[in-house]
């Protein structure tokens, strides 16, 4: 009887210790997540950091030309037989809507990309010729010249396996880039989502901003042609 009671007490103490360790780890992970963007906030003007519901930070600010930029972090755990992914989502908003279609490309599509804008676009577009699997979709208003021009930009960007999605819209552009894969041991043994990154590097953010600016100017030529009125024929 005493032996059974001792075993019960020991099991309760062990369970309590495990819970305490788990809570301590969760608090540590939450603190780590909260500060992931602290080191890159000074890259933007008028920067402000707030927390999303999942505990990851959101960084808002301006580029030097005044355009609005938002940086978000997305933890993706939906794809089976693959480690969790931490994505950086960058949204660059133009000063005013531009006369161009919505068109985007998604690399290695699985259908489970809940964060993707490409899946929401209604019309399939033939992808550029690349070695990677790419899904391209548009809103149906893109001209042949715009499809060709954007396709060359998408091909160049998605050649880098870290780039997951690139989208051009009238209001702005969207870029999604890989930050890190989840820790294998924590995921396989404990089903925990831990990413081996303590901070987003300034170099990563600067690269993503440069890629977004390239996207923003991808259809500049066709944008100008859309806005330029056709010359009137004699007698009109």
Encode the chain (236 residues) as per-residue pLDDT tens digits. Answer: 566 655 555 554 444 444 444 444 555 566 678 999 999 999 999 999 999 998 999 999 999 999 999 999 999 887 655 678 999 999 999 999 999 999 999 999 999 899 999 999 999 999 988 778 999 999 999 999 999 999 999 999 999 999 999 999 999 999 999 999 866 444 444 455 678 899 999 999 999 999 999 999 999 876 656 554 444 454 44
pLDDT at 221 (0 to 100): 74
pLDDT at 83 (0 to 100): 78
Report how far residue 121's alpha carbon sits from residue 147's, in angstroms, rounded to the nearest whole number: 14
pLDDT at 119 (0 to 100): 97
DSSP 35: T
Q: Which residues contact 144 (CB under 8 A, 6 or more apart)?
A: none
CB 15 within 8 A of CB 23: no
pLDDT at 23 (0 to 100): 43
Backbone angles phi, psi at 153, to 5 degrees: -70, -45
In this structure, the number of other CB atoms found within 10 A of the CB of residue 134 comes to 20
Helices (H), 35-143: none
Report how far residue 159's alpha carbon sits from residue 202's, in angstroms, rounded to the nearest whole number: 22
pTM of the predicted structure, to 2 decimals:
0.80
Report how far residue 55's alpha carbon sits from residue 36's, in angstroms, rounded to the nearest whole number: 10
The residue whose two tokens read 């540590």 is: 28
Calculate the alpha carbon distances from 17 to 8, 31, 177, 191 in Å: 14, 21, 38, 19
Report how far residue 86's alpha carbon sits from residue 82's, in angstroms, rounded to the nearest whole number: 12
pLDDT at 77 (0 to 100): 82
Chain centre distance of CA 54:
15
Q: Which structure tokens are listed for 47?
A: 């920067």
Q: Please, what is the angle between helix 144-158 and helix 202-216, to 10°?
A: 170
């Amino acid at each position: 009887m005493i032996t059974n009671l001792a075993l019960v007490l020991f099991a309760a103490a062990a369970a309590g210790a495990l819970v305490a360790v788990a809570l301590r780890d969760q608090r540590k992970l939450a603190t780590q997540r909260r500060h992931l963007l602290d080191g890159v906030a000074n890259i933007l003007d008028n920067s402000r950091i707030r927390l999303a519901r999942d505990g990851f930070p959101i960084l808002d600010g301006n580029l030097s030309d005044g355009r609005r930029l938002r940086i978000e972090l997305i933890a993706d755990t939906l794809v089976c037989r693959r480690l969790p992914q931490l994505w950086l989502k960058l949204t660059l908003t133009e000063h005013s809507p531009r006369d161009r279609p919505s068109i985007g490309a998604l690399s290695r599509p699985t259908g489970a990309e809940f964060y993707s804008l490409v899946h929401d676009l209604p019309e399939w577009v033939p992808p550029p010729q690349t070695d990677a699997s790419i899904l391209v979709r548009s809103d149906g208003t893109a001209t042949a010249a715009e499809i060709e021009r954007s396709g060359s930009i998408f091909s160049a960007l998605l050649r880098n396996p870290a780039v997951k999605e690139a989208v051009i819209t009238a209001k702005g552009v969207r870029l999604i880039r890989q930050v890190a894969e989840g820790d294998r041991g924590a995921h396989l043994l404990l089903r925990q989502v831990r990413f081996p990154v303590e901070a987003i590097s300034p170099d990563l953010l600067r690269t993503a901003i440069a890629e977004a600016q390239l996207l923003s100017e991808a259809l500049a030529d066709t944008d100008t042609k859309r806005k330029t009125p056709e010359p009137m024929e004699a007698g009109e």
